[in-house]
C-alpha cells in the first residue's frame, strides 16, 4: 500500500486496533480520513502509549470530518475536553454512542455541539453520576432525542429521587423514546418498583422499552410492571418489555409473534392507536 498518498473514497471507518494511528501510519490515516467524506466513524481509544501508541487527544485535534453524522467512541482513558471540542467541530452528528468513563464531555458541551443529535447511547460502565451528567446535557438539546440508558445495579434510591436536590428528568422535554437496560443480570425489586414513578417524571415520553427487568416466564411480574407503568404514564403510547431478546409490546396495534419471540398486547384505551 502506498502510504505517501492518502485515499479519498472512504465513507465509513471503524477500528478496534491502535495501529492505524501508530507510526508510521498515523499521518496517512488522518489525511485519508480528512480527505474522504466520512459519515460514520467508530474508534476504540485504547490505553495511551501502549506499544508506542498514539496520543489520542492529538488524533482528535487533527481530525476534521465535515460530513460526519454517526459517531461511536470506546474510550479507556480519553479525557473529556478533546471529545467536547471534537463534537463542537462536527455539528452534523445525529447519533452518538459513547462507551467509557463518566461522560464529562457531555456535561461540558457548549454551542452547537450535538444540537442535531437524535440518538444517544451510553455505557454500562457509567455510574449514576455519569448518567445524571448525560441527562443534564441532553436536557439542553433542542432536537428530539431517542435515548438509551444503561442503569447500574443499585439505582433504586436514585430512581426514587428522594436523595436528589433536583429532578433532572423534568428537563428532558426532547426525549420521547427511551430504552432502559441494566448492567446486572438481576434487577432488584426496589428498582422495578421505582421505575414507573421515574418514567412519569419525563414530560414528553411516548415510547419506552425496558430490558430484562422481569423474567420471561413470570407473567404476574410482567403484568404488574406493565400496568404500573401505564397507570403512572397515562400519555404513554407504547411500552415494551424485553427479556433476553424476547419482547412484549404494549400499544394500540396488532402485533404478530414469531418462533423466536412472544408478543402480548395491552392497549391503552385512553389513546388512539398508532397509525398503520
Q: What is the pLDDT of residues 72-119, one digit of tens each?
A: 888 766 677 788 888 888 989 988 887 765 455 665 565 567 777 777
Is residue 110 assigned to a domain? no
Is residue 244 assigned to a domain? yes
**pLDDT on residue 80:** 72
Of 66, 129, 134, 62, the C-alpha closest to 98 is 134
In a shared domain, residues 71 and 124: no
**pLDDT on residue 267:** 45
Average pLDDT over residues 176-193: 85
In a shared domain, residues 78 and 199: no
Strand order in the sheet with 70-75: 12-15, 40-45, 70-75, 95-99, 119-121, 145-151, 175-182, 207-211, 238-243, 246-250
Query: In this structure, what are the phi and psi dihedrals at residue 222, rounded to the nearest 5 degrees?
Result: -65, -45
Overall domain count for the chain: 2
Higher pLDDT, 24 or 94: 94
Whether residue 26 has pLDDT greater than 60: yes
pLDDT bucket at 22, cuts 50 / 70 / 90: confident
Share of the chain above pLDDT 70, in %: 74
pLDDT bucket at 163, cuts 50 / 70 / 90: low
In a shared domain, residues 77 and 122: no
**pLDDT on residue 108:** 59
Domain of residue 80: give its range: 11-88
In a shared domain, residues 145 and 208: yes
Is residue 190 assigned to a domain? yes
**pLDDT on residue 31:** 93
**pLDDT on residue 130:** 72
In a shared domain, residues 21 and 129: no
Query: In this structure, what are the phi and psi dihedrals at residue 15, rounded to the nearest 5 degrees?
Result: -150, 140
Whether residue 225 has pLDDT greater than 80: yes
Average pLDDT over residues 157-183: 82
pLDDT bucket at 1, cuts 50 / 70 / 90: low
In a shared domain, residues 172 and 77: no
pLDDT bucket at 251, cuts 50 / 70 / 90: very low
What's the rounded Cα separation, in Å, for the pair 192 and 267?
Answer: 21
In a shared domain, residues 165 and 226: yes
Whether residue 257 has pLDDT greater than 80: no
As a whole number, the mean pLDDT across the chain is 76
Is residue 203 assigned to a domain? yes
In a shared domain, residues 230 and 123: yes
**Phi-psi group of 111: left, alpha or beta (phi > 0 → left; psi -120 to 50 → alpha; rest → beta):** left
Is residue 109 assigned to a domain? no
What's the rounded Cα separation, in Å, for the pair 273 and 126?
Answer: 36
In a shared domain, residues 65 and 152: no
Is residue 173 assigned to a domain? yes
Residue labelled with grid coordinates 464531555: 105
Q: Which of 41, 69, 88 is the last residue of a domain?
A: 88
In a shared domain, residues 81 and 127: no
Q: What is the DSSP letter of 170?
A: G
Whether residue 133 has pLDDT greater than 80: no
Higher pLDDT, 166 or 134: 134
Is residue 204 assigned to a domain? yes
**pLDDT on residue 261:** 36
Spell out the residues 6+ positions from residue 139 whose beta carbon is closer than 8 angstroms to its own. 168, 171, 172, 173, 174
Is residue 243 assigned to a domain? yes
In a shared domain, residues 158 and 226: yes
In a shared domain, residues 56 and 170: no
Higher pLDDT, 256 or 80: 80
What's the rounded Cα separation, in Å, for the pair 175 and 137?
Answer: 12
Amino acid at each position: 500500500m502506498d502510504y505517501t498518498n492518502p485515499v479519498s473514497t472512504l465513507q465509513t471507518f471503524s477500528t478496534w486496533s491502535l495501529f492505524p494511528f501508530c507510526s508510521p501510519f498515523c499521518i496517512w490515516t488522518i489525511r485519508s480520513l480528512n480527505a474522504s467524506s466520512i459519515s460514520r466513524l467508530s474508534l476504540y481509544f485504547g490505553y495511551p502509549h501502549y506499544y508506542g501508541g498514539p496520543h489520542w487527544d492529538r488524533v482528535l485535534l487533527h481530525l476534521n470530518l465535515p460530513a460526519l453524522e454517526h459517531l461511536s467512541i470506546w474510550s479507556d482513558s480519553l479525557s473529556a475536553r478533546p471529545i467536547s471540542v471534537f463534537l463542537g467541530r462536527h455539528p452534523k452528528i445525529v447519533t452518538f454512542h459513547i462507551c467509557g468513563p463518566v461522560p464529562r464531555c457531555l456535561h461540558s458541551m457548549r454551542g452547537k455541539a450535538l444540537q442535531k443529535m437524535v440518538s444517544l447511547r451510553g455505557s454500562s460502565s457509567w455510574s449514576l453520576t455519569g448518567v445524571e451528567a448525560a441527562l443534564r446535557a441532553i436536557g439542553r438539546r433542542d432536537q428530539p432525542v431517542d435515548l438509551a440508558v444503561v442503569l447500574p445495579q443499585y439505582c433504586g434510591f436514585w430512581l426514587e429521587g428522594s436523595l436528589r436536590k433536583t429532578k433532572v428528568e423534568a428537563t428532558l422535554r426532547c426525549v420521547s423514546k427511551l430504552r432502559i437496560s441494566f448492567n446486572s443480570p438481576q434487577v432488584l425489586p426496589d428498582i422495578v418498583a421505582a421505575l414507573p414513578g421515574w418514567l412519569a417524571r419525563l414530560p414528553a415520553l411516548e415510547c419506552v422499552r425496558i430490558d430484562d427487568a422481569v423474567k420471561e416466564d413470570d407473567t404476574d411480574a410482567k403484568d404488574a410492571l406493565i400496568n404500573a407503568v401505564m397507570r403512572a404514564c397515562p400519555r404513554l403510547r407504547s411500552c415494551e418489555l424485553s427479556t433476553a431478546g424476547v419482547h412484549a409490546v404494549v400499544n394500540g396495534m396488532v402485533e404478530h409473534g414469531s418462533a423466536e419471540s412472544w408478543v402480548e398486547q395491552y392497549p391503552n384505551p385512553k389513546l388512539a392507536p398508532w397509525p398503520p
